[in-house]
Structure 1
Amino acid sequence: MTQVALHPMLNVAIKAARTAGAIINRASMDLDILKINTKSPNDFVTEVDQAAEAAIIETLLQAYPDHGILAEESGRTHGARHSEYQWIIDPLDGTTNFIHGLPVYCVSIALAHRNVVQQAVVYDPTRNDLFYATKGRGAYLNDKRLRVSKRTRMSDALIGTGFPFRRGDNFKRYMKMFEEVMTQCAGLRRPGAAALDLCYVAAGYYDAFFETGLNPWDVAAGSLIITEAGGLVGNFTGESDFLFQREIVAGSPKIYGQLVQTLTPYTRVIKAEDLEADAQGEGSPNASATSAKPAAATAADAVAEAAQKKRGPVRIKKTEDSEG
């Protein structure tokens, strides 16, 4: 497949992703007999999501039975709940596209060790495209090294996004963001699978991406792939705490800084006092991310420069209501 020497845990993740992809591809040929359930309005789960997730978990736990699992459809009901290793899984990101036969969906698998994402795989079964990264070793699409785009002007930028679609989402807030970004950039796109969108930033197809309402399994793998491709990922204030904040912005450094400037007023980060019980004095990055706008947000270049200087590993911080 590739000349790149892969980490053993990454190899297992790739095997799991391809196994799930085969299940999804087979099911895509018989959509008319697909059983679909509704988790909430406009939020669907199919027997394919569940079968793909079961295959992924079986593959991962067969290789690493002492690891923990955080999966979209089954939460943390599998594996070792308190392991230092946790697999974060979305078996089919873009279920609504899949149901309609629109070939934009993927499998997303990430591995975190001590709350730091170390391995990432996003597999697009319709194109047989495999995006992957190991922390410190770069990001790849199949056997090609990925780098974020070199564009520096917002007026030249193509930006990806996702629309709010669940009951309770703040649609009016999103429309204000949409209007601001749309009038600044060259174009906005919304294919409907956030994990793939993040990979498209890493590949330079997009110059940036932003969305609200996402869960950890939507962004864990893609965020590492972006940072390993030289990009930046954060919440709307440009801080590194995003995985459980339900807001994310990602991009090449220059465009990221400019987009953070635009999105900072719309941030809804969880306040420090709401996380105190969970943080238990660990000094997690959450505490710094819950303050008001950073001073650096007054200049886009300062935002990007500051983010790069303190760009640490992609961290996760578990909250009890994050299982979805």
Structure 2
Amino acid sequence: MLNVAVAVAEEAADHVRSRRPEVFGIVGNGTSSGDSVASKSTPTDPVTVIDTESEQVIRNRLAILRPDDAILGEEGGGDRGSIAGVRWVVDPIDGTVNFLYGVPVYAVSVAAQIDGVSVAGAVVDVAARSTYAAARGCGATLTDSEGRVSRLRCNPITDVSMALLATGFGYSVTRRRAQGALISEILTRVRDIRRIGSAALDLCMVASGRVDAQFEHGLAPWDWAAGSLIATEAGARVRIPAPHSSSADGEVVVAAAPGIADELDELFAEIGANDPIHET
């Protein structure tokens, strides 16, 4: 399953990489020429024709390699309620806004789950041409653009006040308002906060030590299915929603280096960051 996840994610990433210059003529407000972009949950939540194409690449390949397995994709959907057996959870472009604006931070995420638990996953950093991967119980790796493979481990940090946190924001006004209030509470208690625009890569950065922790409310399964496993296998303490949860439930996803996990949880409990943030 790990080999399949890596192969499928890398094939989709190649497609995304090749198609962006051909399709988009970006103008100052982040819109494209033609009909290449539409909106999803809100006007600020875009989907591009390349998102759809990338997911189709993944679905076509999985139909050949794993024809009996279920698929849950961000664009093509699937049965979220049925988690028994093997299910592939895919995000064809995680970081679509970055992709749309030409910010080189977006990824393809592919995970295999058994009975709702991620057992293998790959996250390809498309612009960097690097692949994060993990299988349950086997550790996590990063393969760079030159083909060099390194094992991933979280930072050995022990003090939250010196921690660099990654986060992201939802698309609804209600959720963003609540998330902004939490940021104002957290920012004075940590080293700093980063918002790069791809939850899958945020989780992988915890695994690689580029950040010390990640948290975000309202992520969908395709946002965290692969990245959470990669972070876990690199030693992170990870909290994810129950298998049947959806992004509308507003639960928090947290991944933290083990040396700060307890202290960060205490901080989040104090300010209410562990509580769901529901959309209205």
Q: For the superposition of Structure 1 and Structure 2, which TM-score range results when normalised by the shorter chain?
A: 0.7 to 0.9
Q: For residue 38 of structure 1, what is the aligned residue in structure 2?
A: 39
Taking the TM superposition and a 5 Å limit, the aligned residue runs for 1:296-315 are none
Distance 1:176 1:258 in 2: 20
Shift of 1:85: 0.2
Which residue of 2 is the match for residue 63 of structure 1?
A: 65
2:135 matched to which residue of 1?
A: 134
Determine which of 212, 232, 235 is the counterpart of 1:230: 235
CA distance in 2, matches of 1:121, 1:94: 16
Counterparts of 2:258 and 2:243, CA distance in 1: 17
Aligned equivalent of 1:124: 125
Contact 2:13 2:126 in 1 (8 A): yes
Work out the CA distance in 1 between the residues paired with 2:98 and 2:85.
34
Summarize the alignment of residues 249-260 of structure 1 with structure 2, pairs less than 5 Å apart. Answer: 249-260=254-265
Asked whether the 8 Å contact 1:155–1:184 carries over to 2, the reply is: yes
Match of 1:162 in 2: 168
Residues 8-30 of structure 1 show CA distances to partners (whole Å, capped at 9, x for unaligned) of x2111111111111111112213
8 A Cα contact 1:92 1:105, kept in partner: yes
Give the secondary-structure state (helix, strand or coil) at the position aligned to 2:158: coil
* Structure 1 position 241, deviation (Å): 4.2
Q: In 2, are the aligned partners of 1:67 and 1:83 still within 8 Å (CA)?
A: no
Q: Deviations over 1:260-316 (max 9, x none)?
A: 11222233349xxxxxxxxxxxxxxxxxxxxxxxxxxxxxxxxxxxxxxxxxxxxxx
Alignment of 1:160-239 (within 5 A): 160-164=166-170, 166-234=171-239
Alpha-carbon distance between aligned partners in 2 of 1:134 and 1:127, rounded to the nearest angstrom: 22
Does the CA-based 8 Å contact 1:110-1:220 persist in structure 2?
yes
Q: Please tell me whether residue 107 in structure 1 is matched to residue 108 in structure 2.
A: yes
Corresponding residue for residue 15 of structure 1: 7
What is the CA–CA distance in structure 2 between the aligned matches of 1:116 and 1:209, rounded to whole Å?
20
Aligned length: 255
Query: In structure 1, what is the equivalent of residue 158 of structure 2?
Result: 152
- Structure 2: which amino acid aligns with 1:115? G
1:227-246, Cα deviation, whole Å (9 max, x unpaired): 100111115xxxx7488353
Question: How many Å separate the matches in 2 of 1:243 and 1:190?
Answer: 27
The 10-residue stretch of structure 1 (37-46 or 244-253) with the greater mean CA deviation from structure 2: 244-253
User: What's the CA shift for 1:74?
Assistant: 1.0
Q: 2:28 maps to what in 1?
A: none
2:26 corresponds to 1:26: no
Deviation at 1:253, TM superposition (A): 1.4
Q: Counterpart of 1:57 in structure 2: which amino acid?
A: R
Deviation at 1:99, TM superposition (A): 0.5
> C-alpha separation between the residues in 2 aligned to 1:92 and 1:120?
15
Q: Is the 8 A contact 1:93 1:106 kept in 2?
A: yes
Name the amino acid aligned to 2:37: I
Q: Structure 1: which 5+ residue stretches go unaligned? A: 1-8, 271-324
Q: Are residues 1:53 and 2:55 paired?
A: yes
Q: Is the 8 A contact 1:201 1:207 kept in 2?
A: yes
Where do 5+ consecutive residues of structure 2 fail to align? 26-32, 144-148
Tell me, what secondary structure is at the counterpart of 1:122?
Answer: strand
**What's the CA shift string for 1:173-214, capped at 9, x where partnerless?**
212210221101111100000000100000011000111121
* Letter aligned with residue 122 of structure 1: V
Helix, strand or coil at the partner of 1:123: strand
CA contact (8 A) 1:41 1:167 kept: no
When residues 241 and 261 of structure 1 are mapped into structure 2, their CA distance, relative to the original with a 3 A threshold, is farther
Q: Deviations over 1:67-88 (max 9, x none)?
A: 00010001117xxx67610000
